[in-house]
Structure 1
Amino acid sequence: MTDRDDPLIDSLLDELFQQKSPPDLTARILAKLPSQNGASHPAPISAPIYDAALQATAPVAEADVTESGVTRSELARRRTVWARRRQLAASVGMSITLLALVAFGAWVIRSNQLEQERLANEQKANPAATVEPVKVATNDKPLEPIEPAPPKTQVADNSPAPAVAPSMPKIDAPPQVAANNNPQPNKSPRPQIIAEPIPSLAKTDAQVVTEINDALAAGWKESGVKPTDEATPEEWCRRVYLRLLGRIPTVDEIKHFASQRGRDRNEKLVDEILYGEAHRAELSQYWGSRLANTLIGRAVGMNDDSDVDRTAFEKYLGESLVSGKSYDSLTRELLTASGSNKPGSADYNPAVNFLGALLDQDATLATAKTCQVFLGRQAQCSQCHNHPWDAFDQRQYWQLNAFFRQSHSVKGKDSLQVVDKDYAPPGDKPDQGFVYFERNNGVVDVAYPQFPGEQPIPPSGRVSEVNRRDYLAEYVTHSDMFAEATVNRMWQHFFGVGFTPLVDDMGTHNPPSHPELLKELSGDFAASGFDLKRLMRWMALTDAFQLSSQTSNDQIADQPYAGKPLFAHYYTRQMEAEQLYQSLEMVAQSRRTPALIADPAARHQWLGQFAREMGDDEGSVEHALDGSYAQSLEMMNGRLMENATRLDSGVLKSVINSNMSPSEKIDHLFLAALARKPNARERKSISQILTARKDEMPAALQDVWWALLNSNEFLLDH
């Protein structure tokens, strides 16, 4: 029976799939029902009219009248009518049941058709859908890591392999050149994203800073929070040196800043550190170390037997920053680097230390670290399943992972090399370079390289045709996630807390505390040409960065560690390991203008004792510089503390040999360690100690100095 044969089915399908209200088909239904003698029933008549008609046509005999006043013939007719009504009701009920079954079957058929259409569309948009999944045999025993046999590929007649879409990168640039200007062999031309160019930033730095101040002030007003007073000039000076150079300032630097007059003294100090030649080497060393920590962790490359040349990598990163290299350019270099990390080799390229440390067998560490650092998203859990909190699902994870499958880390005797080779899945050719991944239900699926939200790139695994990492680098640096992740991480560095509690786990599950400000500031950062030093300048000159770390009862709503930061005061935190090392090295220097560039080997040896690689899927590092026994012992009795508190070195030597009064000497030591003078209680207690030990003044000053360097206040950035 077709829809044209029976309008009932047609009407029902209209109601199910087109949301149309069905017409009243009661008459048609009754007309279709057979009568007892095979004839069709007449059109239905309401009961009162039907009874009246029977009475009008039936002759009445007096003998036929029953006790109730109804004739026997009429009673018989009424029984006939009631019987027909019961038969009619039963027939209608059966018809409705039949129609419901027909409708359910039609719904099932239509659902299957829609699912097939969806899969067909997915196959056209994603070539991975054209490969037949392979069911992995599972029993009560756990799955063993096996290399699945390549499944038969079934490609629809009208489903060609993915090609470059109009919105995809185009290949029109010259071949990529490595950091040492040696062309890389067997590399395809670098793709370029076809996207609207980002206009240059039309705002001045002062306008950007004002917008930040206004946004934070609006949050204070809305939450009924009153910000604290400004920090003292000495406190702010110490804070700036720690955040920009990774060490506390010298007493001379503090006094020089505090003696300055004028509203622009803060700007002058920030510009002197960021752009002046006097601090160029320090700036390079500190930020090279910080960027390396973010990219490969604190522990990698700290030991002599490591394949990673951490010293060269930190130098490369630091020089990139101080020279003004844009952050998107630096990111592209890191993601596309090939060559050797051995100095003097023909293909030497220090940038390979990044991926060289992360390209394990399946490049899972490289995938997770790229998402965390450059996109601010967690992805490692999606390696095995669709994680509800991760930004990318399982297929998207392996689509990102596929970008790294042409790249390999080759470890030599004393070097590390990253090379690109043609990639093909096991048993297949490089023409279709998909990767296998296993779903929770034991089905092996495939994924082609595709950046989230973008079209697939050409599927070829041949490096000469498509260099996948070149595509990935362009997509990453053109993504909105890239600028937001960088701004969020830098904000955390300056203020102790990012716009999100975890800067590498952004997403809908972890909304930012100031979404409008984050979006605006990210746009300004991109428009500045991804200028990291300019981004630092904006944050260091904000009103929030100048606030005192003291709190008040008016700031109950300011809860930074509960995901509700308002930045109404400066959030106190412990020094980083690098900051502590540089600060102790600085106060141990004997020269008036100390040589603050520490020996990299000695620095790595000291820092390495507090860091340990965890060996997990995230490549995480355990850090023991958090009040542990190891830290306490090192601070009280370690080499650094011994050098800093010797009578013949550094700050202590200059104070002991000076012509200052005992009170002035105490002021100098407090200023050097804590960027403040002692309060009345402290001054009284120390004066009593010095008076009691006036015959051994150097030793008494040494004890005071040791106590200051081991105090909680010295260890804090406040």
Structure 2
Amino acid sequence: MHLFPNERSFPKTMTVDLFASARSFACIFGVLGFGLIGIRPAEAELAITRPGWGGKPLSYVSLTGADARQQLLVTRLHDDGLVTDQTRQVAFTSEPAGLVRITSGLVEPLANGEGVIIARIDTGQDSSIPFKVTDVSKVKSVNFASSIVPLFTKYGCNGGGCHGKSGGQNGFKLSLLGFEPQEDYEYLLREARGRRIFPAAPERSLLLLKATGQLPHGGGSRVSPDSFDYKTFVKWMRQGMPYGKPDDPKLEAIEVHPAERVMMPEARQQLVVLARMTDGSVEDITRSAVFEVNDLEYAEADNTGIVSAGNKSGEIAVMIRYQDKATVFRASVPLGAPLGNLPKEKNFVDRFVFAKWKKVGMPPSEVVNDSTYLRRVTLDIAGRLPTVAETNSYLSDSAQDKRDLLVDRLLRGEEYAEYFANKWSALLRNKRANGAQLRTTLAFYDWIKESIYNNKPYDRFVREIVAASGGIDQSPATAWFKQVNSQQEQMEDTAQLFLGTRLQCAQCHHHPFEKWSQNDYYKFMAFFSRVGKAPSGRPGEEIVFHRAGVAQVTNKKTNKPVKPAGLGSGVFKIKPVDDPRHKLVDWMRADRNRLFSKTMVNRYWKHFFGRGLVNPEDDFRSTNPATHPGLLDALATYFEKSGYDMKALVRLIATSVTYQLSSVPNKHNAADRHYFSRFQPKRLSAEVLYDSLNDLILARSNFGGLPVGTRAVCLPDNSYNSSNYFLSVFGRPDSSSACECERSQEASLAQSLHLFNAKNIHEQLARKDGRAAQLAGDKSLDHAAKIRSLYYRAFSRSPRSEEAEVALAYLATEITDKEGKVVDKIKERYEDILWALANTKEFLFNH
């Protein structure tokens, strides 16, 4: 028998475009009934195709030159709309033989001529595609930037942990991920007297001897002497190691085929990656691209473009990189379980989430009872436990709309503002280094809290921070510039906080996972180039102002000035008298990518669900797609049309049925992390747990310089962390970063030991005016009523019969002293019960 409830839910320490358009659409999105039964039909159509640019399949294979290669796709179209990849399951032949070589669907030329490639599966079913080989003796000149550098990337040579790191590795340096090919050319050919290259005998070059493992190499053997890539290196050296001609075609864009797919558990999918060049030509670069899976828990990918799904249902995203371009392949791995009657939708949030469940066959958990919802939503909106009176009132209320009314009441309360001010204060780096800054951090915190309490529109809230001017008395948000005190930090924090874009990498090199260049980085920084600061006359305080003049900064790479521009936009024309920061906020609101609104709604989605629709919540990029892109768009639209109403956004999420689902899994959704088919328990944040423990045991906090009883969620800055071990060990952030990742939600041994054994906790339990003493001395209630009140305070529910029996039996046990006399230890027993309740997962987690 367990004193506490079931804790199962808590965490532990070939392209479809071959087919007609309507049918193709059904295959890609799996809308022909798939997901409800998960059964593979025996009869299916087999097709072989060569993907073309823009998703248009080509009806033939054309190979021109000795170096031409093309990856084929073979698919089966099932009657229910499911498309499965068969590229590695079929046997390939060609007629006439001897003109091409086919290895795992990769076609390479052997001799000029025409013929047919046939793919045949073990059932005897086959499909064919014609081919033509021309100019097989013609060898193309190797371009260093487009043919050699991508191989360094493919084999990890220019990664941050190898020769691409600052200073290189063992005397050999390459630019990170090959973003500076001209520099790589110099490193390779000129440094160390060119000892790495031996053009007279390429096979004896130090570069290849180490890469093939024939000489000791810290990175081990990376490439086989029999491979196409090895032969490309050799050919380049024999051609005189050319860098390339100025008019050689440059890479313009890449795309992957298929772009999306529904994959069964443990299925495989061959990808084809195409590159469009500036001369309009299209090349197959599948075997030269880099494939990286966002989450290895759900899939793996190899360097031939094969994606292998795991045995878990979820969303797969595979980033494909080639030179400075990136794209993404997405797949859903369905569960295929039957769905019973779904709960009634409350708002459009449920419509999008329920549709995903139907598509992948993911039955949701049940809707929670009133007790669980009351505790969950009060913690998530007000950052505290419901009181006993609130629990009594709410559970006795029979109104049909009482959950909506509860959310409205919480949003009207000051505690909502305090809790979310605590969140924003950390993200805005409200940090105090010394006592002289106390007035500044207090003013900034109060301004944040007042803005949230008064429901200041989010766009205005952001403008008053980013474009703040004056001193803290006139404009408390100028405090942001005290901690975020350089143009670089102001730009990077703005991009990460309000646009969900991490630009830090682009300061030194092209962003490895996105399109942003160093020039984009400095253009964005130029918005802050006219920020001036001056002493205010008070110690530790400054006045922020706009310095009239031309807004521009110097690109440290090119040493050329650049003027302000939004990410992906043209240069702004800004008058010297105008503050560029206001132009920046105007652009953020109006940007067609809608990152401003999407980032905010995603941040708040993560607050309530523990995981963003885009995860991490501040890492928006094409190679990190949302699990529910339609829902993300709809939330952003709602937020914009509401006038950037933060309370309306909270109300929408908190009243959705999706938010009201139980954290207890059913037999199908225990492993779900992407579809929100159940609530994911979240450990209470350091401040909320501290306050909740105090509320339970009736202790009063004492933070130096603040009134006794000040709640931890009301602490204005980071300075209290060092003096309060509880807040430190439970991961209260130091406000040194604009990333929510600074707040640790991970459980640790140190936390458990502190809750079990901390002297100050036991002292608080034993206080003469504490909860245990109050219960022991209260003669108006019997023990059963007192235990019920404790469960209401801790869990917002009544104790189960077995829990009450255990507690009452413990209270009734006689305790004797050394002389055998019965002694009254009722207060100590209540201390024990309080201590036991505080150490349950049900108390420590919001579930």
TM-score calculated relative to the size of structure 2:
0.53
Q: Deviations over 1:603-627 (max 9, x none)?
A: 9655455268889887888556643
Change in 2 beyond 3 A, CA 1:374/1:632: same
1:583 equivalent to 2:583? Answer no
Alignment of 1:311-326 (within 5 A): 311-326=442-457
Match of 1:399 in 2: 523
CA–CA distance in structure 2, aligned partners of residues 614 and 506 of structure 1:
24
Decide whether aligned partners of structure 1 residues 337 and 616 sit closer, same or farther in structure 2, where only a CA change above 3 A counts.
Answer: closer
Residues 1:383 and 2:507 are matched in the alignment: yes
Alpha-carbon deviation of 1:380?
0.9
Q: 1:419: which partner in 2?
A: 544
CA distance in 1, matches of 2:423, 2:786: 35
1:614/1:620 contact within 8 Å kept? no
Aligned pair partner of 2:839 in 678, 702, 710: 710
Runs of 5+ consecutive residues of structure 2 not aligned to the other structure: 1-137, 142-182, 193-343, 701-707, 816-823
| Aligned match for 2:462, one of 320, 331, 337 | 331
Counterpart for residue 351 of structure 1: 477
Secondary structure at 1:446 match in 2: strand
Name the Cα RMSD after superposition: 3.6
8 Å contact kept, 1:487–1:522: yes
Contact 2:733 2:744 in 1 (8 A): no
Distance (whole Å) between structure 1 residues aligned to residue 740 and residue 363 of structure 2:
39
Q: Distance in 1 between matches of 2:458 and 2:735?
A: 29
1:663 maps to 784
Whether the aligned pair in 2 keeps the contact of 1:489 and 1:498 (CA below 8 Å) is yes
**Match for residue 474 of structure 1 among 569, 577, 586:** 586
Shift of 1:573: 1.0
Identity of aligned residues (%): 27
- The aligned counterpart of 2:770 is 649
Aligned to 1:574: 683
Aligned with 1:436: secondary structure?
strand
The match for 1:490 is 604
Distance 2:349 2:394 in 1: 25
What residue in structure 2 maps to residue 598 of structure 1?
Answer: 711
Deviations 1:318-365 (CA, angstroms, capped at 9, x unpaired): 111221210101111111111222x4xxxx3211112321022xx211
Q: Name the SS for the 2:676 alignment partner.
A: coil
Q: Measured at CA, do residues 312 and 495 of structure 1 come closer, stay the same or move farther in structure 2, by a change above 3 Å?
A: same
Q: Does 1:340 align with 2:491?
A: no
* 1:135-534 → structure 2 map (5 Å cutoff): 209-275=346-412, 279=413, 281-296=414-429, 300-301=431-432, 304=435, 306=437, 309-341=440-472, 343=473, 348-360=474-486, 363-390=487-514, 392-410=516-534, 414-420=539-545, 422=547, 430-431=549-550, 433-439=551-557, 443-458=558-573, 462=576, 464=577, 466-479=578-591, 480-534=594-648
**Structure 1: runs of 5 or more not aligned:** 1-99, 105-134, 142-206, 424-429
Superposed CA offset, 1:627-684 (max 9, x none): 3465446544265674466342257625751532223322221221123333454344
Distance 2:597 2:779 in 1: 51
Residues 495, 501 of structure 2: 8 Å contact kept: yes
Q: Aligned partners of 1:257 and 1:651: how far apart in 2?
A: 26
SS at match of 1:554: coil
Structure 1 residues 284, 213: CA separation in 2 closer, same or farther (over 3 Å shift)?
same
CA distance in 1, matches of 2:759, 2:517: 48
Evaluate the alpha carbon distance shift between residue 524 and residue 568 of structure 1 in structure 2; reply closer, same or farther with a 3 A threshold: same
Distance 1:615 1:531 in 2: 26
2:483 aligned partner, one-letter code: A
Q: Secondary structure at the match of 1:282?
A: helix
Cα-to-partner distance string for 1:366-399 (whole Å, 9 max, x where unaligned): 1111111111111111111111224632211111
Which protein is bigger by CA-based radius of gyration? 1
1:357 maps to amino acid: Q
Task: Provide the C-alpha distance between the structure 2 equivalents of 1:308 and 1:646, rounded to a whole number of angstroms.
Answer: 34
Residue 453 of structure 1: CA displacement? Answer: 3.0
Tell me by how many angstroms 1:483 deviates: 0.6
Q: Which amino acid aligns with 2:672?
A: Q
Instruction: Assess if the C-alpha contact under 8 Å between 2:772 and 2:831 holds in 1.
Output: no
**Structure 1 residue 208: Cα displacement:** 10
In structure 1, what is the Cα distance between the partners aligned to 2:447 and 2:420? Answer: 10
Q: What does residue range 18-29 of structure 1 map to in structure 2 within 5 Å?
A: none
1:410/1:417 contact within 8 Å kept: yes
Alpha-carbon distance change, 212 to 601 in structure 1, aligned in 2, over 3 angstroms: closer
d(CA) in 2 for partners of 1:267 and 1:681?
33
Partner letter of residue 393 of structure 2? H
| Higher mean C-alpha deviation, range 413-422 or range 501-510 | 413-422
Matching residue's letter, 1:468: P
- SS of the equivalent of 2:359 reads helix
* Cα distance in structure 2, aligned partners of 1:271 and 1:615: 30
**Which segment is superposed worse, 654-663 or 489-498?**
654-663
Query: Structure 1 residues 438, 706: closer, same or farther in 2, change over 3 A?
Result: same
- Cα distance, 1:547 vs. partner? 1.1
Structure 1 residue 274: Cα displacement:
1.2
Deviations 1:225-260 (A, max 9, x none): 111112121111011111111011112111211111
SS of the residue 2:428 aligns to: helix
- Aligned in 2, Cα 1:382/1:499: closer, same or farther, shift over 3 Å? same
1:550 and 1:372 map into 2 onto residues whose CA distance is 34
Distance of aligned partners of 1:225 and 1:438 in 2 relative to their CA distance in 1, 3 Å threshold:
same
Residues 613 and 552 (structure 1), Cα distance of their counterparts in 2 relative to 1, 3 Å cut: closer
What aligned pairs does 1:540-579 form with structure 2 within 5 A after superposition?
540-555=654-669, 559-560=672-673, 565-579=674-688
8 Å CA contact retained: 2:496, 2:619: yes
Q: 1: CA distance between counterparts of 2:736 and 2:846?
A: 31
Q: What is the CA distance between 1:445 and its match in structure 2?
A: 3.9
The total of aligned residue pairs comes to: 489
CA contact (8 A) 1:491 1:499 kept: yes
2 CA distance for matches of 1:604 and 1:634? 21
- Which amino acid in 1 is paired with 2:838? L
- Residues 494 and 379 from structure 1, CA distance in 2 versus in 1: closer, same or farther, beyond 3 angstroms? same
Give the whole-Å Cα distance in 2 for the aligned partners of 1:630 and 1:458: 55
Q: Secondary structure at the match of 2:392?
A: helix
Normalising by the residue count of structure 1, what TM-score does the alignment of the two structures yield? 0.62
Deviation by residue 1:294-328 (Cα, 9 ceiling, x = unmatched): 2226xx23863547832221211111122121010
**Cα distance in 1 between the residues matched to 2:563 and 2:753:** 52
Check the 8 A contact 2:697/2:834 in 1, yes or no. Answer: no
Distance, in Å, in 1 between the alignment partners of 2:439 and 2:754 is: 27
Per-residue deviation, 1:223: 1.4
Q: CA deviation at 1:282?
A: 1.8
Question: How far apart, in 1, do the equivalents of 2:735 and 2:380 lie?
Answer: 30
Seen in structure 2, the aligned counterparts of structure 1 residues 226 and 421 have a Cα distance that, compared at 3 Å, is closer
Aligned position for 1:203 = none
